[in-house]
Amino acid sequence: TPTLPANDILGLDADLLDEERMLRDTVRAFVQRELLPDVPQWFEDGELPRELAQRFGELGLLGMHLEGYGCAGASPTAYGLVCAELEAGDTGLRSLVSVQGSLVMFPIHRFGSEEQKQEWLPRMATGEALGCFGLTEPDAGSDPGSMRTTARRDGSDWILNGTKMWITTGSIADVAIVWAKTEDGIRGFLVPRGTPGFTTQDIHHKLSLRASVTSELLLDDVRLPASAELPGARGLGGPLTVLGEARLGIVFGANGAARACLEAAVEYARTRIQFGKPIGSFQLTQAKLAEMGARVAAGQLLALRLARMKEAGTLKPEHVSLGKYSNVSAALAVAREARTIMGANGITLEYPVMRHAANLETVLTYEGTHEVHSLVLGRALTGLNAFS
Ligand code: TGC
Ligand code: FAD
């Protein structure tokens, strides 16, 4: 019998608070019982049901790390653990919660007016209203400062023009946070669905993150009142601060996907017989599992450390970059290795490994690419800026 559990090799469970452990267990059971049976079909169909938002809302997961306005006020660690459990199911589940809680509710909470908070946060916490985050454009991905979307004044109103690309939840969102260039630099705007001139178009034929809606946002002379602007956000630092929140969830989430792949591979290796023995008894398979286990355990330790630093107020953006850089590429390597252990079965949706490997290609790219985070880390270590 195994002496180390694949899901917690280092016994980090003991370092969690009771409420963190309970929440983690609740979400783990919910994902396994209620969602995982349907995930392969959603992935195959390229969709994610809108109703999931309400179910996440009932569990208190939307904007869970925010205070007031119907939000749970949970710790960064609790938020991270939830992200890990959701992404152990599928990256699309974690993405929905990341976008809603970290990329939409957080900026309204941090930068919004009291009216904006009252209008959107309680309804978003329950999942009744959904939001999306529009930063990326067809010609501005890693370099959002080069965005072309503009917001110009017309009296007290704002007129927005431009295109946002690759926007998670875009076409099903009730409100989009759109980042646009004004005469005074970048600002954020709340653009409700149905505003004249604002349309969306879904992006199809994705081979990764299929259980997630991804859309283009088109803004053609969209007129907004002055009250649509986020008053507290000024400059590129606004959206980058917001990204810091979501990226911490990804540090945990990607590790959750890796853990799910490790667990599946261990189980398979113990039971699949070739040459008269379980394939897990071959040294080559054990070497693969050892490498995967080491990566998953190190990733869990890193994620927990970053969340505790956030709680202590010592977490810097470059720490978060290190976490995303390290845990996402490790998760992708683990998912691919798990796939080899499962042989042909590994390429199907019967097992989670190829689906996770495909999803993690997106995670490697969004919220700052692997390369961008290596350069943030390189800049922090050398004091020399590779971007400019
Ligand atoms: P730089 O000159 O370094 O900074 C401009 C201003 O921003 C401030 N800043 C930050 N503030 C908070 N947190 C951070 N992480 C920050 N990084 C920078 C900085 O202090 C400065 O402020 P100020 O007041 O001095 O003006 O900017 P740069 O042009 O050199 O770019 C830096 C770089 C490349 C790291 C940045 O542009 C970047 O992170 N690029 C990647 C873009 C990105 O991550 N896009 C993600 C789009 S959203 C998404 O993918 C959602 S997926 C959702 C899902 O489904 O889960
Ligand atoms: P580019 O920036 O063009 O990069 C292409 C390649 O060049 C990458 O390998 C990159 O690392 C490399 N590169 C770029 N600059 C440098 C450099 N200075 N040095 C070395 N290499 C460099 N965006 C949103 O705003 N909201 C969302 O909700 C959202 N959801 C997404 C969902 C999905 C499924 C996907 C795939 C993307 C999503 N994105 C979203 C967009 C995502 O953030 C961008 O794809 C990402 O920021 C990279 O931009 P890009 O794709 O334009 O690649």
> Which DSSP string corresponds to 107-146?
HHHHH--HHHHHHHHHHHHHTSS-EEEE--BTTBSS-GGG
Residues facing residue 91 across a β-bridge: none
Give CA separation, 199 vs 13, 28, 151, 191, in Å.
Answer: 46, 36, 17, 11
Give the tens place of pLDDT for each residue, 270-324.
999 999 999 999 999 999 999 999 999 999 999 999 999 999 999 999 999 999 9
Mean of pLDDT values over 247-276: 98
**Separation of alpha carbons 6 and 53, rounded Å:** 30
Hey, what amino acid is at 215?
S
Confidence of residue 17 (pLDDT cuts 50, 70, 90): very high
Per-residue tokens: 273: 């017989």
Predicted pLDDT of residue 3: 97
pLDDT > 70: percent of the chain = 100
Per-residue tokens: 209: 């993150």
Asked if 108 and 101 touch (Cβ cutoff 8 Å), the reply is no
Mean of pLDDT values over 4-17: 97
- Mean pLDDT (the chain) is 98
Give CA separation, 53 vs 45, 97, 328, 366, in Å.
Answer: 18, 8, 25, 21
Give the H or E element holding residue 242. helix 237-271
What is the whole-number distance in angstroms between the Cα of residue 288 and the centre of ligand 1? Answer: 36
Which residues, in sequence order, are CB contacts of 140 under 8 Å at separation 6+?
146, 147, 148
What is the whole-number distance in angstroms between the Cα of residue 166 and the centre of ligand 2? Answer: 9
What is the whole-number distance in angstroms between the Cα of residue 339 and the centre of ligand 1? Answer: 34
Binding pocket residue ranges, ligand 1, CB within 6 Å: 95, 98-99, 133, 135-136, 142, 144-145, 168, 235-237, 240-241, 243-244, 317, 366-368, 372, 376, 387-388
What pTM did the predictor assign? 0.98
Binding pocket residue ranges, ligand 2, CB within 6 Å: 99, 133-136, 141-142, 166-168, 209, 214, 362, 365-366, 369, 371-372, 375, 387
